[in-house]
């Protein structure tokens, strides 16, 4: 089962990389990604503030909209707090800036000041608090 989960993560990363390569003048949904225990789904969208949106790009300040929703809202608490970070696991470091997270509405968060300053493999790390429980998301991306 663990091999299947690892394979699913690799395939999800490949799909995500393909989605990131496309460009658009509008806000762009990057991915809908499940939490580690698959109770919640995070939808990550880049916002075109400051010019045409090109998705996640190297060494530019980015603004993300992250929506976190329960797969079964009747049996899960709403998300009340979100923490965002991005790391390069192969280099053991993160971003050179600290992003700012603002709640727009329950489960909807704006993340400003995201800068992926090096080419390579990154992980977008999201921790969403819901009902006293932390849901973790690890989204692999290649820049």
Percent residues over pLDDT 70 in the chain:
74
Domain boundaries, the chain: 2-142
For the segment 15-27, the average pLDDT, to the nearest whole number, is 40
pLDDT in tens, 76-120: 889 999 999 999 999 999 999 999 999 999 999 999 999 999 999
Percent residues over pLDDT 90 in the chain:
52
The whole-angstrom separation of Cα 61 and Cα 50 is 9
Enumerate residues 6+ apart whose C-beta is below 8 A from 108.
65, 66, 67
CATH code reported for the domain at 2-142: 2.60.40
């Amino acid at each position: 089962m663990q091999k299947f989960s690892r394979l699913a993560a690799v395939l999800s990363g490949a799909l995500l990389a393909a989605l990131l390569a496309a460009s658009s003048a509008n806000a762009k949904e990057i991915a809908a990604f499940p939490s580690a225990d698959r109770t919640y789904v995070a939808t990550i969208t880049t916002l075109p503030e400051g010019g045409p949106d090109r998705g996640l790009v190297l060494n530019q300040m980015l603004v993300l909209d992250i929506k976190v929703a329960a797969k079964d809202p009747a049996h899960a608490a709403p998300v009340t707090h979100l923490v965002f970070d991005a790391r390069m696991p192969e280099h053991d470091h993160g971003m050179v800036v600290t992003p700012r997270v603002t709640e727009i509405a329950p489960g909807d968060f704006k993340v400003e000041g995201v800068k992926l300053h090096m080419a390579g493999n990154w992980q977008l790390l999201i921790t969403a608090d819901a009902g006293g429980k932390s849901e973790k998301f690890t989204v692999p991306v290649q820049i």
